[in-house]
Amino acid sequence: MASVLVAGLLRATPAQVAVLHKQAPEFVRNDLSGKKVDLNAYRGKVVLLNFWATWCGPCQVELPHFAAWQKQYGPAGLQVIAVSMDDESTSVRPVVRKLKLDFPVVMGDEKLGILYGGVLGLPVTFLIGRDGKVNERIEGGADLKALESKIKQLLAQR
Amino acid sequence: MRLGCNARVIPFAALALMMILFTAPQCRAQFSGGEVSSASAFSIPQAQLIQPDSLNRLLQAGGANVPLMFQVGSHLMFTQAHIPGSIYAGAGAQPSGLQLLASKVASTPKNKLIVIYCGCCPWGHCPNVGPAYKKLRDLGFTNVKALYLANNFGDDWVTKGYKVERGQ
């Protein structure tokens, strides 16, 4: 599992590596329904922060799993937040409905991408621990088994 | 009849060669035998791909060999990092993107070397380069290359230390 999770790190730029094991860059955005999403408000939870786009094939494979995990592990403290890197929200809403994504989906921008070391390929997933630190950066389609296992591990940490 | 050494080796070598051809992503378009959608990056002939190190060398050499470059993917990714001198030309997967691309090349000589790139996601999943390549070919451009970014722009260009710039 470790090798799979580290694989993304080996390909990362220095700016992307710099984000790891530090406090997750703070952001506040409105989700697609206009509700405020403040990353700080989720401190104490394990946050799965996923950058995706409607035109990204591997993203569409992962997202339903993340939705299922939100249901399954939400009560234990998991919060999924998705950041769409689409240029416009009009194409995002139908996909969110179709995939039944029952977690906050916000629109990304250049600033947010750079804040997280540069989102220069999709998908990219960050796992943020209860302490607010970035625990993992997974680039490309994640090994879902390994990722779920890591989530459980982080949820077990109090 | 006893088979000679070559007779025993050749079938295995042929099998190995076939396996390589069928599994190498950049070769699938030509050897899959099935229809490859023009929307797929695999629809671009292998001879029309340019590797990142080759493009980088061209850019470093400068002069008349520097191609006209278009990023045909996400604008959000373009603003974070793009190849210096490249122009944003709209997402190739969208009709509006192809229209923008056509307008950007309207006054370009048909034999000019044009390099298009995206790097939004792994090559086989990129929805943009295939249609953009086809559009330019349909418009009559004869010297179009697609930058082969196996994983994405970050992995295959930025992490290699090739120059990038930010902004519009």
Cβ–Cβ gap A16/B79 under 8 Å? no
- Class of A2-156 per CATH? alpha beta
Interface residue B76 vs chain A (CB under 8 A): yes
Largest CA distance in chain B: 72
Per-residue pLDDT, averaged over A12-22, amounts to 84
Which residue is listed with tokens 């990722």? A147
Which candidate, A50, A74, A46, places its Cα nearest to that of A61? Answer: A50
**ipTM of predicted complex:** 0.82
Q: Which residues of B94-131 are buried (b: 16+ CB within 10 A; e: fewer)?
A: beebbebbeebbeeeeeeebbbbbbbbbbbebbbbbbb
Our CA angle for B82, A22, A135, nearest 5°, is: 90
Q: Has residue B25 got a pLDDT over 90?
A: no
Lowest mean pLDDT among A4-13, A76-85, B107-116: A4-13
CA distance B124 to B151: 9
pLDDT at residue A12, rounded to an integer: 72
Q: Provide the shortest C-alpha distance from residue A139 to chain B (in Å).
A: 10
Nearest CA in chain A to B81: A120
Q: Has residue A128 got a pLDDT over 60?
A: yes
Would you place residue B15 in the very low, low, confident or very high pLDDT band (cuts 50, 70, 90)? very low
pLDDT at residue A13, rounded to an integer: 79
% pLDDT > 90, chain B: 73
Q: Provide the shortest C-alpha distance from residue A76 to chain B (in Å).
A: 32
Q: Provide the shortest C-alpha distance from residue B36 to chain A (in Å).
A: 17
pLDDT at residue B35, rounded to an integer: 59
Would you place residue A26 in the very low, low, confident or very high pLDDT band (cuts 50, 70, 90)? very high
Q: Has residue A9 got a pLDDT over 60?
A: no
Which of B79, B119, B125 comes nearest A58 by C-beta? B125
pLDDT at residue B36, rounded to an integer: 62
Q: Has residue B17 got a pLDDT over 60?
A: no
Q: Beta strands A46-52 and A124-128: pairing type?
A: antiparallel
The 10s digit of each residue's pLDDT in A57-114 is 899 999 999 999 999 999 999 999 999 999 889 999 999 999 999 999 999 999 999 9
Q: Has residue B10 got a pLDDT over 80?
A: no
CA distance B37 to B41: 9
Question: Where are the domains positioned within chain A?
Answer: 2-156
For all residues of chain B together, what is the average pLDDT? 84
CA distance A98 to B75: 24
Cβ–Cβ gap B121/A58 under 8 Å? yes
Would you place residue A52 in the very low, low, confident or very high pLDDT band (cuts 50, 70, 90)? very high
Interface residue A115 vs chain B (CB under 8 A): no
Q: Has residue A47 got a pLDDT over 90?
A: yes
pLDDT at residue A110, rounded to an integer: 93
Q: Provide the shortest C-alpha distance from residue B89 to chain A (in Å).
A: 13
- Class of B37-158 per CATH? alpha beta
Q: Has residue B9 got a pLDDT over 90?
A: no
Say which residue, A25 or A11, is predicted with more confidence: A25
Question: Where are the domains positioned within chain B?
Answer: 1-34, 37-158
Helix (H, G, I), strand (E, B) or coil at B62: coil
Per-residue pLDDT, averaged over A13-36, amounts to 92
The 10s digit of each residue's pLDDT in B62-98 is 998 899 999 999 999 999 999 999 999 999 999 999 9
For residue B136, the tally of other CB atoms under 10 A from its CB is: 26
Would you place residue A41 in the very low, low, confident or very high pLDDT band (cuts 50, 70, 90)? very high
Cβ–Cβ gap B159/A55 under 8 Å? no
